[in-house]
Structure 1
Amino acid sequence: MTTYPSGKLSEEKVFKDPVHRYVHVRDKLIWDLIGTAEFQRLRRIRQLGTTYMTFHGAEHSRFNHSLGVYEIIRRIVDDVFQDREEWDNNERLVSLCAALLHDLGHGPFSHSFEKVFHLDHEDFTQAIILGDTEVNAVLRRMGNRFPKDVAEVIAKTYRNKLVVSLISSQIDADRMDYLQRDAYFTGVSYGHFDMERILRVMRPREDQVVIKHSGMHAVEDYIMSRYQMYWQIYFHPVTRSAEVILTKILHRAKHLHEKNYEFKQPPRHFYSIFEGKVTVEDYVKLDESIIMFYFQTWQEEEDAILSDLCRRFLNRNLFKYIEFNPNSQVKMKMWMELTQLFKKAGIDPDYYLVIDSSSDLPYDFYRPGEEEERLPIHLLMPSGELRELSRQSEIVEAISGKKRTDHKLYFPQDAIDQLSSKRKVKEQIRKLLFEEMR
């Protein structure tokens, strides 16, 4: 492998970090990657999308998180794995680069944006790494094959599965950073676990990272913290209300564009996305400041739905919600009745009556034949044998393979309350909705 010219910086650089105290950069390659336009763009994309509307401290960025994941991997490969027989130190730089760049392809408001336009941030991460970009130019200084190696780690197709498991598994650097970072910035205590202990008991094995049996309780703590964070933070119903409005704004703008509606502020940054022809060049121009600019100006649009949804999002006038199970025939009958009543009331149910579902599987072991292979966490026993975690831990066994799903029905209570000229319809809607709320 070609050596990067003057491989080490003349002096170590550090970033002060609220979670890891310091992020250390000694390699010129890493320092140059951080300075690229594509990586700096991550400063303008929040890590937690619309969560700042629920937890006002959640303003941290994908840039913060990416540096954090890099720092965890740096500690593993430089301190924990160094000189261990089953670790090949030639994989050090590819591991560090994949850690740093793993979220490079996230769009503004990440998962909501992807859902509306059927995009995949991992595809864009690989496209940026392999495309005509500053990131690619920096990586190629390590050799023409090197960008492909980094992209393959992120795609989980890299030849060394141990490297892949560091970045993407059920106990990886990505999760270990975001759980602690998101807990810190939201101000909750759920995401805390003893990461230092977990790092100390990690061991490299042929195709995955394993954990010494003596560290099992630290891993239990990590899994429970992940479970709590999903239900208390990531799936918070108020955050999801903001996401619902955000996705409906984007759907409405796309619909209007397709109908040749004349925008006062034409959505030029969205054209290639609306038309399903998005290029890497167009994609990296998108960040949350661009999106918010359009939302700000679209408040003045003639289209009542677009302007109302944008006002709601910017001013945090969110939808209310009730528990709602779409698998229940009674509930779906109620939803169909509400749909008709909303139409009578002049409230478009496509935009203002929305079922939203969230689900999570906190831990699972490998089940042959499943579409997504979930590599289980293995404990390294004193005898040298490996045992799957849930076989040893009663706590983990209790939640293994148990998918939990939450459904909500979102609606604009204020718009219903203002239906003064359609009193009968208003009362019918209120009766259906608010009987459910009691």
Structure 2
Amino acid sequence: MNLMYDDDQLLPIEQVFRDPVHDYIHVQHQVVLDLINTKEFQRLRRIKQLGTTSFTFHGGEHSRFGHSLGVYEITRRICDKFARNFPTKEPGDGGWDDGERLVVLCAALLHDIGHGPYSHTFESIFQTNHEELTIAIILSQETEVNQVLSRVSLDFPQKVASVIEKTYPNPQVVQLISSQIDADRMDYLLRDAYFTGVNYGTFDLTRILRVIRPYKDGIAFQIQGMHAVEDYIVSRYQMYMQVYFHRVSRGMEVILDHLLKRAKKVYQDPSVSFKHSFSLLVPFFEGNFTLKDYLALDDGVLNTYFTLWRADQDPILSDLSTRFLDRKPFKSVTFSKQTDEAILEKLSKLIQEAGYDTDYYTAINNSYDLPYDFYRPETDNQITQIELMYPDGSFTELSKASALVTSIAGKEYGDERFYVPKEFLKPDKSVEITLFEELYTGFSKYIKNGAIYDPTKNE
């Protein structure tokens, strides 16, 4: 039955979810509760928020389900504050129109619903796009999500999708979900810090919610709250450097990438056949998957295949599956493209001579992040910079008021790493290292203090 919701949309009594980050998550609208109970949203319980990061920070097993609820809750609190303190009084005055509440709450809840198993690695191998799939889930009449949204109004799914696509006409609504300081980022920093057990991602959310306010072109922050915003920027920087870009997590991600790439290769090779069933991945190997195929996947499905592939007759697929499941990450050294390319070729040749296929046992991984950026008309960046508001109603961009943010604004941070099997950087007692002792010695002479260097320069 596809009955339309009543005009007020409110539940008789609000429902709550107990949350370790936000204490209680308050659900007050029937449509939000119904969205949470759809099979597409429940699937997010089976998708890890942090992918391979849990191999480094073992507490980071939390799901995209919890994160999505958290983004919804932060957005709900902001709507409450806007409606109480900055309601619109006449069109165009820059105040908050609480008639936008339902569309922004639904967009907040659903912003990540298109994520797949081990999301970013899976995307790179099978050319999926979680943002496009999010829109597809919202707009497809075959999904429960679409059916729930359509009960609000026939055009409501498109309104929610346009918020996520950043085409919704009200910039306040868009920026609450997608900007340099939005509900999405605020939740994942706090949530990821909590579950990984680090303090880098903590910031004063209460203060930020106190000083956030709407204005005609989006959202801004009152100048007296600048230090809380600074704290948020620094927390984001630290989380990327210390957690999201951790070299061991990236080493596991490299194995996962090569594992999926090898599985696809073996499937496409007519001379080789899998020993075990892989039916749920066939549409992705063949590049003709449907939305239904995509929604059938989660982390558990992939892990089950990896377990089966341990015993596969293809030695590379079997070995990579075992390395991933047993947490045997590739090790890495930093390098510079400008000076180390020739040495990288030598190292790859040594690995090949040792009997390893360099397509699957070497990798170059670069991870860079821009902690904060500002509008630069000479570039193509379409970012929404963080605006601070003075009591007289005038504005200044964050980095112009904050010396701390100025020091990191517009600068990328991160590194490039060359990944190889552990035995080349640190001999494993379980490996017969004597079989290629000379190769190992030749390899290690180019490695010093965790980085590639040219030994001829020191002779």
Could you state the TM-score of these two structures normalised by the residue count of structure 2? 0.92
8-17 or 68-77, which deviates more: 8-17
* 239 and 435 in structure 1: CA distance in 2 versus 1, 3 angstrom threshold: closer
Residue 349 (structure 1) aligns with: 358
Q: Does residue 1:379 correspond to 2:391, yes or no?
A: no
Q: Does 1:277 align with 2:267?
A: no
TM-aligned CA deviation for residue 33 of structure 1: 0.1
Give the equivalent residue in structure 2 for 1:299.
310
Amino acid at match of 2:57: F
The 1-side partners of 2:328 and 2:137 are apart by 36
Alpha carbons of 1:425 and 1:159: their partners in 2 closer, same or farther (altered >3 Å)? same
5+ long unaligned stretches in structure 2: 89-94, 453-459
The amino acid of 2:87's aligned partner reads R
1:332 deviates by: 0.8
TM-superposed CA distance for 1:250, in Å, is: 0.5
State the 1:425 CA deviation: 2.6
Per the alignment, residue 456 of structure 2 pairs with: none
1:95, CA displacement in angstroms?
A: 0.2
Q: Contact conserved, 2:329 with 2:422, CA < 8 A, in 1? A: no
Distance 2:392 2:145 in 1: 45
Does structure 1 residue 421 correspond to structure 2 residue 435? yes
Q: 1:435 to 1:206 in 2, by over 3 A?
A: closer
Query: Which secondary structure does the structure 1 equivalent of 2:153 belong to?
Result: coil
Q: CA, structure 1 residues 199+36, in 2 after alignment: closer, same or farther (shift >3 Å)?
A: same
SS of the residue aligned with 2:434? coil
What is the CA–CA distance in structure 1 between the aligned matches of 2:379 and 2:146, rounded to whole Å? 35
Return the offset for 1:351.
Answer: 1.0
Equivalent position SS for 1:399:
coil
Q: Which amino acid aligns with 1:110?
A: S
Q: Distance in 2 between matches of 1:40 and 1:13?
A: 17
Between the two proteins, the alignment pairs up a number of residues equal to 435
1:312-361 deviation per Cα after TM superposition (whole angstroms, max 9, x unaligned): 11011111111122x223x1111111222222211111111111100000
Partners of 2:358 and 2:447 in 1: CA distance: 14
- Asked if 2 retains the 8 angstrom alpha-carbon contact of 1:354 and 1:411, the reply is yes
Residues 355 and 409 of structure 1 are in contact (CA less than 8 Å); yes or no, is this contact kept in structure 2?
A: yes
Aligned partner of 2:91 in structure 1 is none
Identify the match of residue 79 of structure 1 among 78, 81, 86.
81
2:260 equivalent to 1:257: no
Contact between 2:335 and 2:418, CA under 8 Å: does it hold in 1? yes
Contact kept in structure 2, 1:38 and 1:104, CA below 8 Å = yes
- For residues 367 and 255 of structure 1, the distance between their equivalents in structure 2, rounded to whole angstroms, comes to 43
Counterpart of 2:184 in structure 1 is: 174
**3-state SS in 2 of match to 1:421:** helix
Q: Which residue number in structure 2 is paired with residue 14 of structure 1?
A: 16
Residue equivalent to 1:38: 40
Residue identity in the other structure for 1:84: P
1:430 to 412, 433, 444: 444
In 1, Cα distance between the equivalents of 2:183 and 2:294?
26
Map Cα deviations across residues 157-182 of structure 1 (whole Å, 9 max, x no partner).
11111100000001100000000000
Q: Give CA deviations for 1:94-134 in whole Å, capped at 9, x if unaligned.
A: 00000000000001111111122222111000000001100
8 Å CA contact 1:345, 1:419 repeated in 2? no
Instruction: Tell me, in whole angstroms, the C-alpha distance in 1 between the residues paired with 2:170 and 2:209.
Output: 20
Cα separation, 2, equivalents of 1:377 and 1:187 = 29
Cα distance change on mapping 1:436 and 1:60 into 2, 3 Å? closer
The answer to whether structure 1 residue 323 and structure 2 residue 324 are counterparts is no
Does structure 1 residue 146 correspond to structure 2 residue 148?
no
SS at match of 1:266: coil
Distance 1:212 1:139 in 2: 35
> C-alpha offsets along residues 167-215 of structure 1, whole Å, 9 cap, x if unaligned?
0001100000000000000111111111111111111112211001111
Moved more, 405-414 or 34-43: 405-414
1:390-413 per-residue CA deviation (whole Å, 9 max, x = no partner) reads 111111111110111311111112
Q: What is the identity percentage for the equivalent residue pairs of Structure 1 and Structure 2?
A: 51
The two structures have a TM-score, normalised by structure 1, of 0.96
Deviation at 1:372, TM superposition (A): 3.3
Letter in 2 for 1:295: F
Q: Which runs of 4+ in 1 moved over 6 A?
A: none
| Further displaced range: 204-213 or 165-174 | 204-213
Unpaired segments ≥5 residues, structure 1: none
2:104 alignment partner, SS class: helix
Alpha-carbon separation, structure 1, partners of 2:322 and 2:330: 12
CA contact (8 A) 2:87 2:98 kept: no
Counterpart position of 1:137: 147
Task: Report the 3-state secondary structure (helix = DSSP H, G, I; strand = E; otherwise coil) of the residue aligned with 2:445.
Answer: helix
In 2, Cα distance between the equivalents of 1:434 and 1:130?
A: 53
